[in-house]
């Protein structure tokens, strides 16, 4: 029998060179760690030897199993595969300083690890023992299912030097190819005799074994995104998963893998895996939809997977609302329901809900769509919901809807006759009728039809002796704008849409009780208008008008004139409303605006925020500069000898100014200067400062006059940002100082000194 | 020496600083002494006739001093003394004129026509330091002189500030009001005010800016409501303002008072409205014109005849008496988008108020509710010649004004501007300067049905014959065939609401759509106030714009060339044959055409009224198709628009009836093909405007009429009438 095994083993050794011994994920390399041999003087009897042999091999087995199940391995950066590693100062000691490491991510498990008992049993069945493995007995390596054996020997040694020299245990580990009985890799470690660092030493060896196996038998792949995908807004919503197409179950049968086998991976990172068939799943966390990319890894390949635009395409649903007549006006608001089903990786993780949307249909015109994006990410036109009215069948088809559950609310808008009257709309807010939410689940049915009757819209009952209100708005230019209006009086909260209207008359009715409880009524307008004046607002402008109840009595006939250009000028940059795409027909004059953004940006009535910052009353100026000064003084050399000392002059000035009018400010300040020469000069003066500026001019003129240790005069110009009122200024100044410290008295006569200096100051002027 | 220098510098500095803080030294203020007894007596005498006529026994009357609207309003006919002080002439008038009226572009040497006129008609009397107006030589262009003096803001009647006057003489108002109270107390009761009646500053400002309906009360509406409170009964309200005072210590005093007596108990009926000049015995009579009292006195025979005519028409139209009405000055607001507020306007409305109040059963109501005119851009967007009043819902007119009827009026001036020489010893009189006033009474409760349309003639026939606009009115006023045809063919009946729409002007709106050279010019002028950054209102600017447009009308029959006609004033034109018009010239001509067309329409309205086919006033804006054409402006869309209605209506149907309450639209187009050269001017063929108005004539020879039913959109009538 041994002979037969030997023949087979030799034959295989010739027929199957190492390079052709390829494994797959379903057929991974098999491995067993056997008891190590022991050659230690301290362990004379067999029992002790067995103890050390088993102890260290089991320690290695344990960490090897752990490493096999781990998703990554950190190993020393290997220049030469399998090269011995030494720590010269403390050779072989585990936990010693490590060289640079590298991280390898892989798809576990890489090995199939057998317990040594199975090997021993196989050996026993063939009349071999473990010892035969160490002695390389012919036929001992003829395992049909075992690819690698890990053998080792333990020995006693000493480490350290001088007084620190101490007993230690060394062990060598070898990985043998069972097919050829070839020793492929070997590793050594030395640990203290008390074995406290044995786990670390074994871990190092296990890591090295993993590294070497990865190098020898695995392929790599990397996920990349195409430029189109990386620049798309959906990119931030993508998750990538990796799984083997099939798995081997515990009973050794092969089955397709499922979601539980998905492992999250990162893009642009190399992953190692055994050859085989794999699947990359691209998951869009907004749409909750998965696109799969199957691929096959060949041995030692480096495979690039590119995520293309097509991988982002998700399934969309449609809602068809039937029975909408061309004379009707409706508003349909769809609010996404909270996500009910979650993948395992979504549990406990906040997810992005799909966008809500609102569809407006008025008098058979092409519907308008307004999106309510859940985040502030950019969105493309393709993502927006699209709606079309089909007059032949009286249907509104709302398509390109993300698969989700929605609550759809219908609001019947008053039959305005708007199509007949150009330029003017009379509308009663009481005529708005709102339905209860209607639940639509696109998960269960991708295309849903709802009859308008299903919304159960019912006209409001006529009021007895109602209180009526009426207000008219005039818009200029009304014929170049579209608008949304929110009427909010706590009883009616409605949105209306119109275009090309110069005049809007809003009438409402209230019961006496409602009227008594009614606070002020506000009308928030959102105009899609591109003003013709400077300070353009991209998209829409928003403003609110609120009214006291008496002002809305019909007999008052309140008329409010609204100049859109003026309103646009009032809009702060922060109020600029980002445009979102909508139906093509309405995209021409700017674009539609998302309601959420619009309302979030709406300012309360009377808010000064929309009025722009008022001109500050107080200005502060401060600056520093450089100049040249010359001191004329007398030196006492027995007589008064006139001397001159010149040097660099460093001036500083500051002042606070109050605006008497928009064009003139006056204030007080100070100027300090010192002069560096062989005679130090210091001067200071209190100043009266003036600033003059033309209305909306960016140039201001400064002037100051002062007296102190001398006399100073300065003039300059400031370049001011008209919007902020701040800017840089330049001041050219002159100062004459008496420099009394340099005066001398000879014979009772005062020989006084004078310093003249010129300087240029650069400073900043800003409103307080 | 150096020490002395230092001291000198410090002294100079101190001088500079102390100089900065001090204001120019003023002459010590001189108190104004007056004879308070005289003031008391004059106050009483001024009011007594009014009080005797209108105050009833037991009336409780509130006297309310108000700031005069007239205080800062300009003059259409500038009061001009025969002698102007040299410093005023050289320091203000001539430099102002040079600044305002520049020589035309390309003229390097010389003065503008305006400055040349000043130099020609005033001579300096160096000894007396005055400039003397030459009135004895050849006639000067009074219209141009008025334009110059109004332009530089000069007036021989000095601007008076009652607050300043009263500060220097604290007893003036007290004495005056005491006198007025004495007049009231003969029959009624007056009472001491504890709080100032609220005056609306915004209303004052808006009124002066030409936004508020002319003649609106300055009193806050809330105050009016308080007056009507039954717990604090006030039957009558007397608003008065002191418009001017001339005094010389206690020697003499004269003043100019405006009264407005309103019957609170009857909802704000105006009982008396007018201006009184009062002066002490020794007041120099030649100073009376300098008080600036301006009045329009309707000749008694004219007033009497018109009163009867109006009364008869109103009765014939079935107007139930008593009727409440308010005046709404229309003038040229539908053409220019705004109007210059002048003192003459007050005199006109006072005279009209007196005339209509004298009609039995007609109550003219105080305009207490603050209602504005349409914005210039509204006028620009609407069809031609809409009523300038702005409302949200015109059916509410009665609720806020307390009046069912609107009396709209347009003044036809003999000359659009001029001067009033301050000579003689009487108040300034306007009657010789007005050819007539077109009046229409509109029933606001019947969707603007016109119940009276007439021209109150003040000028003599020869003057009227020379006026282009009057001839436009006359041309269509006498055309009665249309009303007969519409009636006879049952196109309309008594209950039909119809509006006149000038189809030719709607088509001519394409002139703007075609990017006319004058377009930006027109919009700048017409939309003034609606354009961001533009000043809200510059009265003189509006006045000069009106002047330029009217100047075109003066040249009819004098030249065949619209180029000469449409020159802006002050243009010393070149003599070569014109090919095109400059934008300013086009604008002037376009505005002149607009003016003529409005008078054609008023004439046609009068003719229809007379034929028992009264139209409705265009109160709400009907929109012109040019708006969409202008907005979309596809290059090749002209053909598409060619075949469409000139109106911007999406579809015919009940909605139009619901919104506008009209049944029929009566389109009319007045066309001229071969009018004599003396009666037209020719638009240079190179100008875009020539496509639409190759000839501009006050004698069109055809009138095309079509009637459309707004429910069906069907044409129910079409006819081309030959006008003879």
CATH of the domain at A136: 3.40.50.10610
Question: How many Å apart are CA B561 and CA A160, to the nearest integer?
Answer: 122
> Which residue from B620, B648, B650 is facing A419, i.e. has the nearest CB?
B650
> Is B214:B207 a contact under the CB 8 Å cutoff?
yes
Question: How many Å apart are CA A187 and CA A78, to the nearest integer?
Answer: 13
With 0-12 CB in 10 A as exposed, 13-18 as middle and 19+ as buried, what is A596?
A: middle
Residues A564 and A468 in one domain: yes
Residues B66 and B209 in one domain: yes
- Count of domains for chain B: 3
Q: What is the pLDDT of residue A430?
A: 66
- How much is the ipTM here? 0.86
- B218 is a domain residue: yes
Q: Which H/E stretch holds residue A219?
A: strand A219-225
pLDDT tens digits along B115-168: 889 988 999 999 999 999 987 766 788 889 999 998 888 999 988 888 888 888
CA-based nearest residue in chain B for residue A473? B392
Residues B534 and B678 in one domain: yes
Residues B418 and B299 in one domain: yes
pLDDT tens digits along A204-214: 899 988 988 88
- B23 is a domain residue: no
Residues B66 and B93 in one domain: no
* Residue-level length of chain B: 724
Q: What is the pLDDT of residue B603?
A: 96
Using an 8 Å CB-CB cutoff, list chain A residues near B659: 417, 420-421, 424, 426
- Count of domains for chain A: 4
Q: In which region does residue A280 sit, left (phi positive, over 0), alpha (psi from -120 to 50) or beta (all else)? A: beta
Question: How many Å apart are CA A521 and CA A711, to the nearest integer?
Answer: 64
Measure in Å the smallest separation between the Cα of B682 and chain A Cα atoms. Answer: 35
Residues A543 and A591 in one domain: yes
Probe site for chain B from A561, A642, A735 (most B CB atoms < 10 A): A561
Residues B231 and B358 in one domain: yes
- B10 is a domain residue: no
Residues A425 and A462 in one domain: yes
* The pLDDT of residue A520 is above 80: no
The mean pLDDT of chain B is 84
What tokens appear for A582 in the block?
């909508």
Residues B114 and B223 in one domain: no
Q: Would you list which residues of chain B are within 8 Å, Cβ to Cβ, of chain A?
A: 2-3, 6, 9-10, 13, 16-17, 20, 372, 375, 377-378, 381, 390-393, 396, 399-400, 530, 532-533, 620-621, 623, 627-628, 631, 648-656, 658-659
Residues B560 and B452 in one domain: no
Question: How many Å apart are CA B631 and CA A422, to the nearest integer?
Answer: 14
Task: Check which CATH number belongs to the domain holding A726 and give it.
Answer: 2.40.160
**Whole-number Cα distances in Å, A470 to A525, A551, B139, B490:** 17, 9, 59, 38
Other Cβ atoms less than 10 A from the Cβ of B555: the count is 18
Between A466-470, A612-616, B183-187, the lowest mean confidence (pLDDT) is in A612-616
Residues B249 and B306 in one domain: yes
Single residue among A578, A611, A644 that ends a domain in this structure: A611
| pTM of the shown model | 0.66
**Inter-chain touch B396–A502, beta carbons under 8 Å:** no
> Is B214:B329 a contact under the CB 8 Å cutoff?
yes
Residues A280 and A202 in one domain: no
**Inter-chain touch A422–B649, beta carbons under 8 Å:** yes
* The pLDDT of residue A15 is above 50: no
DSSP tag of B91: I
* The pLDDT of residue B572 is above 50: no
Q: Would you list which residues of chain A are within 8 Å, Cβ to Cβ, of chain B?
A: 417, 419-424, 426, 470-472, 474, 476-477, 479-480, 500, 502-503, 505, 533, 554-559, 561, 563, 565-566, 569, 688, 705, 707, 711, 736, 738, 750, 752, 754
Residues A533 and A625 in one domain: no
Using an 8 Å CB-CB cutoff, list chain B residues near A558: 392
Q: Residue B601's closest CA among B458, B711, B499? A: B499
Residues B115 and B259 in one domain: no
- B82 is a domain residue: yes
DSSP B525-548: HHTTTTSTTS-S--HHHHHHHHHH
Residue with tokens 């092969």: A254
Strands A254-256 and A246-248: antiparallel
Other Cβ atoms less than 10 A from the Cβ of B640: the count is 11
Q: What's the alpha-carbon Rg for chain B, to the nearest Å?
A: 28
Residues A373 and A498 in one domain: yes
**Inter-chain touch B659–A424, beta carbons under 8 Å:** yes
Single residue among A163, A197, A217 that ends a domain in this structure: A217
Residue B22's pLDDT band (cuts 50, 70, 90): very low
CA-based nearest residue in chain B for residue A736? B6
Q: What is the pLDDT of residue B640?
A: 63
- B21 is a domain residue: no
> Is A334:A551 a contact under the CB 8 Å cutoff?
no
Residues B521 and B437 in one domain: no
Using an 8 Å CB-CB cutoff, list chain B residues near A424: 620-621, 659
Single residue among B127, B151, B175 that ends a domain in this structure: B151
**Inter-chain touch A426–B659, beta carbons under 8 Å:** yes
**Inter-chain touch A477–B377, beta carbons under 8 Å:** yes
User: Where in the sequence is the domain holding A224, given as residue range(s)?
Assistant: 220-311
* The pLDDT of residue A437 is above 80: yes
**Inter-chain touch A566–B532, beta carbons under 8 Å:** yes
Residues B426 and B340 in one domain: yes
Using an 8 Å CB-CB cutoff, list chain B residues near A419: 650-651, 655
> Is A592:A368 a contact under the CB 8 Å cutoff?
yes
> Which residue from A419, A557, A752 is facing B651, i.e. has the nearest CB?
A419
Residues A55 and A172 in one domain: yes
Q: What is the pLDDT of residue A93?
A: 43
User: Where in the sequence is the domain holding B534, given as residue range(s)?
Assistant: 474-722
- Measured between alpha carbons, how far apart are the two ends of chain B, in Å? 101
Single residue among A217, A250, A274 that ends a domain in this structure: A217
Beta bridge partners of A225: A307
Residues A199 and A228 in one domain: no
Measure in Å the smallest separation between the Cα of B629 and chain A Cα atoms. Answer: 11
* The pLDDT of residue A429 is above 90: no
**Inter-chain touch B399–A555, beta carbons under 8 Å:** yes
* The pLDDT of residue A635 is above 60: yes
> Which residue from B17, B651, B655 is facing A688, i.e. has the nearest CB?
B17
Please state whether the peptide bond connecting residue B322 to the residue before it is cis, i.e. omega within 30 degrees of 0.
Answer: yes
Q: What is the pLDDT of residue B564?
A: 65
Q: What is the pLDDT of residue B16?
A: 47
**Inter-chain touch B659–A472, beta carbons under 8 Å:** no
Q: What is the pLDDT of residue A307?
A: 92
Between A174-188, B52-66, B342-356, the lowest mean confidence (pLDDT) is in A174-188
Using an 8 Å CB-CB cutoff, list chain A residues near B404: none
pLDDT tens digits along B464-474: 998 999 999 99
* The pLDDT of residue B322 is above 80: yes
Other Cβ atoms less than 10 A from the Cβ of A421: the count is 25
Residues A212 and A82 in one domain: yes
Single residue among B151, B180, B214 that ends a domain in this structure: B151
Q: Can you list the positions of beta strands (E) in A403-466?
A: 405-412, 423-428, 433-434, 438-441, 447-451
Residues A711 and A584 in one domain: no
> Is A279:A267 a contact under the CB 8 Å cutoff?
no
Residues A186 and A231 in one domain: no
Report the alpha-carbon angle B461-B462-B464, nearest 5.
60
Residues A468 and A590 in one domain: yes
Q: What is the pLDDT of residue A3?
A: 46
Q: In which region does residue B164 sit, left (phi positive, over 0), alpha (psi from -120 to 50) or beta (all else)? A: alpha
Task: Please tell me which of A662-666, B205-209, B660-664 the model is most confident about, judged by mean pLDDT.
Answer: B660-664
Single residue among B116, B151, B186 that ends a domain in this structure: B151
- B16 is a domain residue: no
* The pLDDT of residue A558 is above 70: yes
**Inter-chain touch B393–A474, beta carbons under 8 Å:** no
* The pLDDT of residue B387 is above 90: yes
Question: How many Å apart are CA A753 and CA A82, to the nearest integer?
Answer: 89
Residues B479 and B402 in one domain: no
Between A418-432, B599-613, B661-675, B690-704, the lowest mean confidence (pLDDT) is in A418-432
**Inter-chain touch B650–A422, beta carbons under 8 Å:** yes
DSSP B195-213: SPPPB-HHHHHHHHTT-BP
- B421 is a domain residue: yes
**Whole-number Cα distances in Å, B275 to A191, B70, B280, B293, B294:** 122, 11, 17, 7, 8
The mean pLDDT of chain A is 78
């Amino acid at each position: 029998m041994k002979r037969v095994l030997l023949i087979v083993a030799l034959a295989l050794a010739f027929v199957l060179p190492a390079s052709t011994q390829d494994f797959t994920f379903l057929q991974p390399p098999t491995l067993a760690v056997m008891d190590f041999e022991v050659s230690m003087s301290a362990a004379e009897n067999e029992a002790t030897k067995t103890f050390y042999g088993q102890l260290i091999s089991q320690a290695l087995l344990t960490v090897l199993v752990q490493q096999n199940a781990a998703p990554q391995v950190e190993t020393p950066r290997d220049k030469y595969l399998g090269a011995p590693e030494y720590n010269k100062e403390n050779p072989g000691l585990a936990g010693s300083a490590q060289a640079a490491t590298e991280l390898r991510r892989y798809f576990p498990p890489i090995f199939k690890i057998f317990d040594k008992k199975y090997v021993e049993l196989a050996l026993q069945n063939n009349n071999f023992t473990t010892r035969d493995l160490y002695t390389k007995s012919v036929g001992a390596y003829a395992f049909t299912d075992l690819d690698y054996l890990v053998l080792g020997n333990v020995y006693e040694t000493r480490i350290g030097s001088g007084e620190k020299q101490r007993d230690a245990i060394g062990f060598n580990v070898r990985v043998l190819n069972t097919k050829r009985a070839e020793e492929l890799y070997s590793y050594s470690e030395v640990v203290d005799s008390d074995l406290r660092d044995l786990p670390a030493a074994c871990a190092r060896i296990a890591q090295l074994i993993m590294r070497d196996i990865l190098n020898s038998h695995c392929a790599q792949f990397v996920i990349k995104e195409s430029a189109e995908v990386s620049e798309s807004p959906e990119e931030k919503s993508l998750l990538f998963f990796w799984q083997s197409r099939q798995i081997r179950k515990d009973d050794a049968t092969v089955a397709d893998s499922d979601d539980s086998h998905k492992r999250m991976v990162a893009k642009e990172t190399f992953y190692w895996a055994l050859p085989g068939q794999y699947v990359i799943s691209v998951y869009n966390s907004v749409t909750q939809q998965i696109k799969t990319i199957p691929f096959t890894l060949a041995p030692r390949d480096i495979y690039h997977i590119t995520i293309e635009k097509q991988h982002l395409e998700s399934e969309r649903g449609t809602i068809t609302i039937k029975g909408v007549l061309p004379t009707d006006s409706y508003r349909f608001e769809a609010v996404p329901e909270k996500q009910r089903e979650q993948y395992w990786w979504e549990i406990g993780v906040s997810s992005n809900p799909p966008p809500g949307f609102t569809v407006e249909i008025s008098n058979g015109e092409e519907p308008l769509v307004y999106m309510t994006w859940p985040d502030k990410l950019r969105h493309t036109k393709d993502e927006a919901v699209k709606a079309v009215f089909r007059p032949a069948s009286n249907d509104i088809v709302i398509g390109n809807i993300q698969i989700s559950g929605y609550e759809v609310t219908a609001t019947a808008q008053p039959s305005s006759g708007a199509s007949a009257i150009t330029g003017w709309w009379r509308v009663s807010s009481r005529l708005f009728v709102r339905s209860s939410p209607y639940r639509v689940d696109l998960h269960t049915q991708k295309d849903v039809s709802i009859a308008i009757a299903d919304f159960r819209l019912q006209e409001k009952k006529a009021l007895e002796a109602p209180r009526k209100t009426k207000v008219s708005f005039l818009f200029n230019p009304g014929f170049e704008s579209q608008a949304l209006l929110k009427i909010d009086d706590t009883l009616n909260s409605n949105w209306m849409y119109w275009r090309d209207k110069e005049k809007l008359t809003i009438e409402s009715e209230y019961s006496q009780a409602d009227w008594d409880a009614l606070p002020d009524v506000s009308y928030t307008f959102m105009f899609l208008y591109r003003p013709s004046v400077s300070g353009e607002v991209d998209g829409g402008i928003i403003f609110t008008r609120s009214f006291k109840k008496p002002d809305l009595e019909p007999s008052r006939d309140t008329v409010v004139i609204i100049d859109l250009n003026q309103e646009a000028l009032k809009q702060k940059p922060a109020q600029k409303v980002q445009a979102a795409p909508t139906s093509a027909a309405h995209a021409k004059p700017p674009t539609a605006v998302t309601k959420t953004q619009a309302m979030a940006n709406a300012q309360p009535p009377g808010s000064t925020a929309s009025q722009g910052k008022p001109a500050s009353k107080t200005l502060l100026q401060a600056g520093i500069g450089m100049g040249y000064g010359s001191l004329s003084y007398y030196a006492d050399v027995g007589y008064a000898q006139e001397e001159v000392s010149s040097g660099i002059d460093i001036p500083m000035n500051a002042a606070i100014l109050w605006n008497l009018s928009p064009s003139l400010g006056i204030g007080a300040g100070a100027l300090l200067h010192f002069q560096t020469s062989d005679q130090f000069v210091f001067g200071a003066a209190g100043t009266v400062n003036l600033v003059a500026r033309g209305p909306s001019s960016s140039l201001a003129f400064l002037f100051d006059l002062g007296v102190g240790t001398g006399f100073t005069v300065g003039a300059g110009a400031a370049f001011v940002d008209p919007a902020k009122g701040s800017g840089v200024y330049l001041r050219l100044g002159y100062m004459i100082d008496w420099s009394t410290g340099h005066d001398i008295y000879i014979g009772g006569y005062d020989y006084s000194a004078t310093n003249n200096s010129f300087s240029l100051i650069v400073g900043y002027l800003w409103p307080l | 020496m150096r020490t002395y220098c230092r001291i000198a510098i410090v002294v100079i500095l101190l001088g500079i600083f102390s100089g900065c803080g001090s204001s120019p030294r003023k002459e010590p203020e001189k108190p104004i002494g007056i004879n308070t007894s005289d003031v008391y007596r004059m106050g009483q005498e001024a009011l007594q006739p009014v009080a005797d006529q209108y105050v009833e026994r037991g009336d409780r009357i509130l006297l309310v001093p108000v700031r005069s609207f007239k205080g800062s309003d300009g003059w259409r006919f500038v009061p001009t003394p025969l002698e102007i002080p040299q410093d005023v002439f050289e320091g203000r008038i001539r430099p102002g004129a040079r600044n305002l009226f520049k020589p035309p572009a390309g003229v390097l040497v010389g003065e503008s026509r305006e400055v040349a006129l000043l130099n020609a008609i005033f001579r300096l009397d160096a000894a007396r330091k005055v400039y003397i107006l030459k009135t004895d030589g050849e006639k000067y262009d009074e219209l141009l002189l008025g334009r110059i003096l109004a332009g530089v803001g000069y007036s021989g009647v000095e601007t008076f500030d009652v607050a300043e006057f009263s500060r220097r003489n604290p007893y003036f108002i007290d004495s005056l009001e005491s006198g007025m109270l004495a007049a009231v107390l003969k029959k009624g009761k007056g009472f001491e005010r504890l709080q100032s009646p609220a005056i609306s500053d915004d209303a004052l400002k808006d009124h002066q800016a030409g936004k508020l309906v002319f003649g609106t009360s300055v009193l806050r509406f809330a105050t009016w409501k308080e007056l009507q409170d039954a717990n604090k009964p006030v039957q009558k309200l007397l608003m008065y303002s002191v418009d001017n005072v001339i005094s010389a210590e206690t020697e003499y005093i004269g003043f100019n008072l405006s009264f407005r007596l309103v019957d609170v108990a009857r909802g704000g009926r105006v009982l008396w409205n007018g201006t009184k000049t009062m002066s002490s015995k020794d007041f120099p009579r030649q100073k009376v014109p300098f008080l600036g009292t301006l009045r329009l006195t309707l000749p008694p025979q004219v007033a009497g005849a018109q009163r009867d005519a109006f009364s008869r028409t109103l009765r014939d139209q079935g107007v139930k008496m008593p009727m409440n009405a308010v005046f709404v000055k229309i003038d040229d607001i539908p053409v220019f988008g705004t109007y210059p507020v002048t003192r003459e306007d007050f005199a006109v409305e006072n005279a009209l108020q007196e005339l209509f109040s004298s009609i039995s059963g007609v109550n003219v109501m105080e305009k207490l509710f603050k209602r504005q005119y349409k914005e210039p851009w509204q006028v620009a967007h609407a069809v031609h010649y809409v009523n300038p009043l702005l409302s949200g819902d015109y059916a509410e007119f009665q609720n806020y004004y307390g009046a069912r009827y609107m009396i709209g009026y347009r003044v036809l001036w003999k000359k659009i501007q001029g001067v009033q020489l301050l000579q003689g010893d009487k108040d300034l009189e306007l009657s010789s300067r007005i050819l007539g006033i077109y009046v229409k009474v509109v029933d606001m409760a019947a969707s603007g049905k016109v119940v009276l349309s007439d021209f109150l003639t003040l000028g003599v026939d020869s003057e009227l014959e020379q006026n282009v606009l009057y001839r436009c009115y006359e041309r269509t006023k006498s055309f009665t065939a249309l009303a007969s045809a519409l009636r006879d063919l049952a196109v309309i009946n008594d209950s039909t609401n119809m509006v006149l729409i000038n189809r030719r002007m709607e088509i001519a709106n394409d002139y703007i759509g075609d990017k006319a050279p004058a377009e930006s010019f027109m919009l700048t002028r017409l939309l003034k106030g609606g354009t961001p950054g533009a000043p809200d209102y510059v009265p003189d600017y509006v006045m000069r714009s009106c002047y330029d447009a009217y100047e075109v009308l003066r040249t009819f029959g004098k030249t065949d060339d619209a180029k000469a006609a449409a020159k802006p004033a002050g243009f010393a034109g070149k003599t070569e044959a014109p090919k095109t018009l400059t934008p300013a010239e086009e604008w002037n001509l376009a505005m002149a055409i607009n003016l003529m067309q409005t008078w054609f329409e008023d004439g046609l309205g009068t003719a229809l009224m007379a034929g028992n086919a009264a139209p409705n006033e265009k109160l709400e804006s009907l929109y012109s198709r040019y708006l969409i054409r202008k907005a979309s402006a596809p290059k090749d869309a002209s053909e598409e628009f060619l075949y469409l209605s000139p109106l911007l209506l999406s579809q015919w149907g009940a909605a139009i009836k619901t919104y506008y309450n009209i049944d029929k639209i009566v389109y009319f187009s007045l066309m001229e093909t071969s009018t004599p050269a003396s009666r037209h001017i020719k638009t240079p063929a190179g100008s875009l405007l020539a496509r639409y108005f190759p000839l501009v004539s006050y004698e069109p020879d055809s009138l095309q009429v079509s009637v459309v039913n707004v429910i069906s959109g069907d044409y129910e009538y079409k006819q081309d009438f030959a006008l003879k």
